[in-house]
Amino acid sequence: MRTAVSALLVILALVVAAVAGPALWLQKNVIDQAGFVQLAGPLGSNKSFQEGLSALAASQATASIDLPPQLTDLAAALIQSAAQSIYTEPGYDAAWTETLKRSHALTFAAAGNKDIQGDLQLDIAPLVALVAAKVSDSTSVPLATPKDVVVALEQPELARLLPAATTLGGWAGWMAFIAVDLLVLALVAARRRSLTLILAAAGLATVALVWLFASGIVQSVLTGMATGPAAAQQFGVELGALARESWQGGINATFVIAGVLALAGVATLIIKRRRTT
């Protein structure tokens, strides 16, 4: 009876842990604004993404900057030239970080409001302001820039998942706590704790392998769902790659924990045998 109860508790612990791991990652890297900025920050220095971002900033700047009559004919050429090199400007890193913060706030505000038809959104107003500042410096004509320049990533399917992801992330800490408690209870109930530790280690390693396999599938699905403007598509694709790379750290940590549990089980088994001999 004790063995059956212990086995059931281990299985429950592994099931809860399998959900808790991705939930913790979501909370830290997607739902939390600082975590999202850290996750997506490297995109700003990605050369291929910079080209698409420059083109997007140029088109949005041309459409949104309030240009004086004397610059109307030269506007497209000036803005295009300025946009192509904005990532070499001293203020580019700060503008990209502010873009990510604004975009995160916009997207999650829509996700939490039932009256808004949510979508993943980029607010590139800081980048447009950088373009405008560069044009102003080269022409000595001050340019007014809009407060917001929002570009929809046209991912309504993903946007509809954000409320559920937010709820799941909010429960992540509790799920991790429950998984650990269930494993402790399993050890307390077990007749052979060394074997329980070894089996729990094998199960946790299996969970990590499932995560590893699933991460590739999720990235492929996200890549296939990419729509909207070219730069927006590239943002989704590159962010998916960064997310998979980031999640790899959690997978590796889980393998390490599984190894520690296995070693603890083997050590317990050896100690027990020495005591009985």
DSSP string, 203-246: HHHHHHHHHHHHHHHHHHHHHHH--SSHHHHHHHHHHHHHHHHH
Distances, alpha carbon 131 to alpha carbons 33, 59, 60, 151, 239, in Å = 25, 11, 10, 16, 24
Q: What is the pLDDT of residue 115?
A: 44
Tokens of 176: 């991790």
Q: Is the pLDDT of residue 179 over 90?
A: yes
Q: At 266, is the pLDDT very low, low, confident or very high (cuts 50, 70, 90)?
A: confident
Mean pLDDT of the chain: 82
Is the pLDDT higher at 265 or at 64? 265
Q: At 13, is the pLDDT very low, low, confident or very high (cuts 50, 70, 90)?
A: very high
Q: What is the pLDDT of residue 116?
A: 46
Q: What is the pLDDT of residue 190?
A: 82
Residue 123 CA to residue 104 CA, distance in Å, equals 9
Q: What is the pLDDT of residue 131?
A: 85
Q: What is the pLDDT of residue 229?
A: 66
Q: Is the pLDDT of residue 15 over 80?
A: yes
Residue 193 CA to residue 212 CA, distance in Å, equals 28
Q: What is the pLDDT of residue 239?
A: 80
Task: Give percent of the chain with pLDDT exceeding 70.
Answer: 84
**pLDDT for 61-107, tens place per residue?**
777 777 776 666 666 777 777 788 788 888 889 999 999 999 888 88
Q: What is the pLDDT of residue 223?
A: 65
What is the mean predicted confidence (pLDDT) over 235-243? 80
Q: At 209, is the pLDDT very low, low, confident or very high (cuts 50, 70, 90)?
A: very high
Q: What is the pLDDT of residue 25?
A: 92
Q: At 276, is the pLDDT very low, low, confident or very high (cuts 50, 70, 90)?
A: low
Q: What is the pLDDT of residue 151?
A: 79
**pLDDT for 123-154, tens place per residue?**
888 888 888 888 877 777 777 777 888 877 66
Q: Is the pLDDT of residue 254 over 90?
A: yes
Q: Is the pLDDT of residue 4 over 80?
A: yes
Residue with tokens 């600082």: 34
Q: What is the pLDDT of residue 129?
A: 86
Q: Is the pLDDT of residue 212 over 80?
A: yes
∠ Cα 17 256 189 (to 5°) = 50
